[in-house]
Chains A and B, each alone.
Chain A
Amino acid sequence: MNKTHSGRSSSLPDLLKRYSGPILIGAVFVLFSVEAETFLTAFNMLQIVHHGSILGLFSLGFTVTVISGEIDLSFSNLGALIGVLVAIFFVKADFGVVVGLLTATLFGIGIGAFNGYIIAYRGCKSLITTIAMSSICWGVTFMLTGGGDEVRGMMPDAFAFIGQGYVGIVPCSVFIFTLCYLISFIIITRLPFGHHLYAIGFNSEVARASGINVRFLKFIAFVISGFLSSVAGLIITSRLGSGQPIVGAQFLLEGIAAAFFGVAISTQDKPSVLGTLQGVLLLSIIFNGVTLLGLPLYLKNIIQGGILVGALVSKEARTLVDVFYNLKMRIDKRHREAVGSRS
């Protein structure tokens, strides 16, 4: 990459680049406040943070696996499975609140651990392993719900508190979201674990040679992803008051887009907790605004894809020029060779 890390220069392009995330979020926020009447209301802000907290938890787990150089595409269906599972625990099996929550979370961690074991210790490719695991989770979810029916019934009040209650004036789901981000921010940026994870992501061979237990850390990354996805699944079920087999699955593209938006706006090309947080905020605001303005919902997909592609392309904006330059060089060289061989 053509990047110079020469301290903190304060020229305008550099500043724009460093704060591109907040600037974008602010611009989108102002745009929707002006365009949509009901955007700037307390109720709507609450909707945004509720959506953002679920999306953020999914995306955070995904980010941790991306930091370790792997990719976890099973998080959304895993969350959906755990959400349905906990609903079944409460409605059909009459589990206590603590037992039900713990068992469901343990299931999620177990699936994440299985992913991690297959990928880290058996050397399978993470992309394809998690696609397979995602499909298994989807199948089990539909099997448990008898073909996609929601699981309805009385849930304990303490469980409903997770998605609907308030801690002081803060919604409980936002509280969990903030707590998870704070803890992972400290772990990823301040503790050796995080630095080792980045080292593995950059070059796992070098990391192994310098004494990092690559396999174990990759395994742990997938366990974390499984844990955070299941927490997100629990929040969805608690918030809706019923086990919905298809709601969690819709977070797949959003979660990926948020994490990679974080990669794209970071000045060092790294996935990070803060970057993902900004991606989550941006996407939550955009989707809320699109819905409020009454625009067709498929615009969501186009915007998601546009953000991903646009972020990557703008990242390589300098290389784009290089690409054409290289192409021209190569054509010139071919031409010269052709001329040379003829003479």
Chain B
Amino acid sequence: MSTKTDDIGFTRGLGNRKRYLFFAALAVIYIAFSVFVKGFFSWTALGNILVEISIPSLVSLGLTFVIISGNWDLSFGSVAGIASMTTCYVTSITGNMFLGILSGLMVALLAGIVNGAFVSYFGLSDVIITIGTGSIYFGLSYLYSGGYHIHENLGDSFGFLYAGSVGPFPVPTILLGAICLGAYITFNRAKIGRAFYSTGLARTAAIFSGVNTEFCKMLAFVICGLLAGIGGILTASENKSAWVLIGQDYLLTDYAIVFLGWAIFDKPSVIGTLVGAFFLGTISTGFVMAGVPFYVRNLGTGALLLIAITIGAERQES
């Protein structure tokens, strides 16, 4: 499955107008929440949005890599789950947080490598393989505690990952900023970033231009796994415990974010993903502050995703 977008000249014509439309919609939503929800229009709420979007942004940034290189990943939620379970398990047993995080990241890395190897070097169908491996990772994450929460003996510093701040900046936001900067430079200034795009757009052409497309796909899955792992560990830190279902609601949110960014900027990109995450974060924070039930948020996200892909598809045809 290749992602068909027009890479060159995407800022011209309809694309520009549509982008303004999206930003206008964002402004309208923000103003509407400010008017109707008490306390939404404040620096605290804005800061909260920035902290809240950091985990979905990180995970969907990884997903962006995979989608740009022309594949789908349906297993990243389970990777986040198993990474957070590993981290908390090792931390609670050894009492060493860094060892725990390291092992969690190693598991995420391994999961990414397995996904990537199956899809790129063995040439198996990405959707089926990631559904299968995702199911396996999900089952394996039960092994640590039999499905119970792991929250004992994690230490006080474990919560620092999510709730702490260095100077005025919260830790997850710093992490997000650093990784986004890295990803932005990769895609816009580095050779490998162009290789990711060309792998996704026209694989045969990429091969004949000397791009190692297998390596690109592999790397995309590895990055996706790692970032999903970081997202899972941050979620565990936010709740000061890990449980097996941790990543199961990532799927919808993160696809919604990537596709919103895709619809706004006419191609999947780092900036698009960030804007999409902010868009969705604003809505979900507004809903939470307005006291709307959780299932309405899910409904709203799904509807938004449908609208975004319908608009995005129109652009592709025109």
Contacts and interface: CB of A to CB of B under 8 A. Distances in A.
Interface of A: 71, 118, 122-125, 127-129, 131-136, 138-143, 147-148, 253, 256-257, 260, 296, 298-309, 312-313, 316, 319-320, 323, 327
A135 B138 CA distance: 20
B125 A312 contact: yes
Contacts of B291: none
A312 B128 contact: yes
If over half of B's interface residues share one DSSP class (helix, strand or loop), that class is named, otherwise mixed; here it is helix
Given A124-B312, A125-B1, 5 more contacts: A135-B305, A139-B296, A147-B294, A253-B131, A301-B142
A301 B78 CA distance: 11
A124 B136 contact: no
Contacts of B118: 309, 312-313
B139 A139 contact: no
A7 B14 CA distance: 55
A282 B300 CA distance: 38
A304 B252 contact: no
Nearest to A123: B313
Contacts, number: 148
B134 A323 contact: no
Interface residues of B, number: 51
Interface in B1-43: 1
A291 to B, nearest CB: 15
Given A118-B306, A305-B132, A131 B122 contact: no
Contacts of B175: none
Contacts of A128: 255, 259, 305, 309
Interface of B: 1, 72, 118, 121-125, 127-129, 131-140, 142-143, 146-147, 244, 251-252, 255-256, 259, 293-303, 305-306, 309-310, 312-314, 316-317
A257 B133 CA distance: 12
A169 to B, nearest CB: 36
7 contacts: A132-B306, A136-B299, A253-B135, A257-B135, A302-B139, A312-B128, A327-B121
Given A296-B146, A302-B136, A305-B139, A139 B299 contact: yes
